[in-house]
Amino acid sequence: TAATATTAVRINQVGYLPDGPKRATVVTSATGPLTWRLRTASGRVVASGPTVGRGTDAASGQPTQVADFSSYGRTGSGYVLTVEGTVSDPFDIRADLYDGLRSDALAFFYHQRSGIPIEASLVGSAYARPAGHLGVAPNQGDTNVPCQSGVCDYTQDVRGGWYDAGDQGKYVVNGGISTWLLINSFERAKRAGTASALGDSTLRVPERGNGVPDVLDEARWELDFLMRMQVPDGRPYAGMAFHKVHDAAWTGLPTRPEQDAQPRELHPPSTAATLNLAATAAQCARVFRPYDTAFANRCLTAARKAWTAARANPAMYAPDSDSTGGGAYGDTRVTDEFYWAAAELYATTGERAYRDAVTSSPWHTDANAFTSGGFSWADTAALGRLTLATVRTGLPPADLRRVRASVTAAADGYLSTMAGQGYAVSIPATGYVWGSNSAVTDNAIVMATAQELTGDPRYRAGVLESMDYLLGRNALGQSYVTGYGERYSDNQHHRFWAHQYDSSLPHPPAGSLAGGPNSGLQDPVAQEHLPGCAPQACYIDDIGSYSTNEVAVNWNAPLAWLAAYAAEDDCA
Ligand code: 9MR
């Protein structure tokens, strides 16, 4: 009978914005439309309508229909959506829905800091810990780290920065894109007139109250580290950036950072890392200038030096094979990093040489600058496009039009990918790779930028529906953000937030985003538990599943960006 045909009603488990899209996915074997009913906490039906069939798509493998209750805009909590006796999780409709996530997703970065104690007064006693890798035994870094054998004969002080993820490596490539996203979030909010929400004393960071916007204080923690990774003057490859620093062998699980006893090693400089430094330091020089001129100048000097060094050493590639003790972040195509760095240097300085580097780059006209995952640590041309599309420069009008059109064209592509599926996801069925949730967030940032450029509300709807996916409207009914929703990821792969291994250790803090479904099943836990999974269902909330359930700075940074964007609604 029809009453047994519907098995789930999947929603954003946190809720919906009053003026945003409100859609749910109904998993059902029914072939014709069904009736959905929106009920208040007291059971009163306040809206109803027919579902629309979507069939079975390759990503979820589930037969789905969609319920659209967007026209209902009254606020409240404890709503449920019912379809044939199947009841959704309860949810809210309210304008301040994303306010908590805006600060929690950013607080992730303080938790991940290296080289500074994490204070109980800021994070609570469960998450407090002594400084990691600040030259105190048993730590062997990061105040004077030797190069890997044969690479150089000196040590370097590379303290500070953020640990990348569940491991305690620090990678310039991935740190770069994450830093860029935090600073870009602020730069965008400034244009929107909403930067005060990211201003001083908005975050739980030790620098609160120093007169500098807290999101920039957090970005600076990493920028200082990135600049410490630059090869000093007078040394071979001066101006280049070391690719990464991490333990000689993979750190055991669990290990609190200050208890790590392994030798730390600096890995050879790479062109990609150097251009990440050039790009983010140039962005720093532009955005920090009103708050700290000396720091802005220091950033600009580092950026110029990095650019010059990368031009002199354009093919020093970090190999994929260098993954003992840390991720490889290998990249043998750096033309996109050159484009990104040139774009940032040009937007900051206006200088002709950087403009020429932009306009002569193949990426300036390449139709594939935006990937099916928007951008990533390895694909950075899109970051240059986003900067050129939004920051006022002297770019010739025809070029600017083309750059902007490329942003909206990419956003249109994501919208059309979303429209065809049972769950509105901007990535194709083949796109559920390691860190797939960050492809969803990164695409959403492109859509948000398209909305800024055009004012078209369809793009904002695409952003908000992407949040729906991350917060529970997906094939598993899983919220991928710790502390948000009815069933959220709570056992992400991490060496300190390792409650699943040791009950005296905490779960990840609220606001931590899991990497998400990965149909490649690239770890033993995923291989054991997920064989035959549909791409969107290849996920397990187990600490051992590092290929589906890790946290990472390049995943939480776009989440923070989007939470800040979505939270702006309540000032409207
Ligand atoms: O995000 C990275 C993903 O694109 C790669 O496929 C994967 C394997 O190389 O590595 C991911 O990055 C990890 C890094 O190598 C080490 N720190 C944890 C990162 C997130 O899992």
| pLDDT tens digits along 364-379 | 999 999 999 999 999 9
Q: Which residue blocks in 262-392 are alpha helix, DSSP H?
A: 271-288, 293-312, 335-349, 352-359, 381-390
Say what the pLDDT of residue 149 is.
74
**Beta strand pairing call for 155-156 and 145-146:** antiparallel
152 Cα: distance to centroid of ligand 1 (angstroms): 26
Question: Which residues does 76 contact at the CB level (< 8 Å), separation at least 6?
Answer: 40, 41, 92, 93, 94
pLDDT at 2: 46
Q: How far is the C-alpha of 38 from the C-alpha of 231, rounded, in Å?
A: 60
Map 18-64 to HEC letters.
CCCCCEEEEEECCCCCCEEEEECCCCCEEEEEECEEEEECCCCCCEE
Chain segment 270-281, per-residue pLDDT in tens: 999 999 999 999
Top mutation candidate among 174, 437, 489 for ligand 1, by most atoms within 8 Å of CB: 174
- For residue 464, give every residue at least 6 positions away whose Cβ sits within 8 Å of its Cβ, in sequence order, or none: 16, 17, 20, 21, 566
519-551 confidence digits (pLDDT tens): 999 999 999 999 999 999 999 999 999 999 999
pTM of the predicted model, to two decimals?
A: 0.98
* Annotated active-site residue in 243, 246, 267, 493: 493
Collect the ranges in the chain with pLDDT lower than 50.
1-3, 571-572
Question: How many Å apart are CA 233 and CA 368, to the nearest integer?
Answer: 37
Q: Which domains does the chain possess?
A: 2-93 (2.60.40.10), 99-364 (1.50.10.10)
Of 136, 117, 112, 115, the closest CA to residue 128 belongs to 117
92 a catalytic residue: no
Residues in the chain: 572
* Closest CA to ligand 1's atom 13: 327
Per-residue model confidence as pLDDT tens digits over 193-202: 999 999 999 9
Helix (H, G, I), strand (E, B) or coil at 415: helix
pLDDT (0 to 100) of residue 451: 98
The candidate with the shortest Cα–Cα distance to 112, out of 217, 201, 213, 222, is: 222
**Average pLDDT value over all residues in the chain:** 97
Site to substitute for ligand 1 among 163, 171, 432, 434, most atoms within 8 A of C-beta: 434
Token readout for 265 is 């090693």
Contact criterion met (CB below 8 Å) for 129 and 138: no
Q: Is 550 a catalytic residue?
A: yes
Structure tokens at 551: 């946290």
Residue with CA closest to ligand 1 atom 5: 434
Q: How far is the CA of 343 from the centre of ligand 1 (A)?
A: 26
pLDDT in the model for residue 265: 96
Q: Tell me the CA–centroid distance for residue 327 and ligand 1, in Å.
A: 6
* 524 CA distance to ligand 1 middle (Å): 16
Match 């959506």 to its residue by tokens: 81
Where b means 16+ CB within 10 Å and e means fewer, 369-398 reads bbbbbbbbbbbbbbbbbbbbbbbebebeee
Contact present, 517 and 435 (Cβ < 8 Å)? no
- In the chain, pLDDT over 70 holds for what percent of residues? 99
Report CA(434)–ligand 1 centroid distance (Å): 7
What whole-number percentage of the chain has pLDDT above 90? 97
Residue of the CA atom closest to atom 4 of ligand 1: 434
pLDDT of residue 570: 55
Measured CA to CA, the distance from residue 229 to residue 315 in angstroms comes to: 19
pLDDT given at position 5: 84
CA distance linking residue 501 with residue 554, whole number of Å: 25
Distance 164 CA to ligand 1 centre (A): 9
Write down the pLDDT at residue 569: 67
pLDDT in the model for residue 151: 78
Mutate to test the pocket of ligand 1, among 518, 550, 551, 555 (most ligand atoms within 8 A of CB): 550
* Contact call for residues 265 and 147 (beta carbons, < 8 A): yes
The pLDDT value given to residue 571: 45
Which atom of ligand 1 is least distant from the CA of 328?
A: 15
All residues at 6 or more sequence positions from 233 whose CB lies less than 8 Å from its CB, including other chains? 239
What ipTM, to 2 d.p.?
0.98
pLDDT at 6: 86
* Per-residue 3-state assignment (H helix, E strand, C coil) for 205-268: CCCCCCCCCHHHHHHHHHHHHHHHCECCCCCCCCCCEECEEEECCCCCCCCCHHHCCCCEEECC
Q: Is 541 a catalytic residue?
A: yes
Q: Per the structure block, which two tokens stand in for 94?
A: 């309210």
- Ligand 1 is surrounded, with C-beta below 6 A, by 164-165, 167, 169, 327-328, 434-435, 515, 546, 550, 552
In the set 265, 541, 542, 569, the catalytic residue is: 541
Q: What local confidence, expressed as pLDDT, does residue 1 receive?
A: 44
Q: Residue 458 carries which side chain, given as an amino acid letter?
A: R
Q: Whose CA is nearest to atom 21 of ligand 1?
A: 550
Ligand 1 atom 8: residue of nearest CA: 327
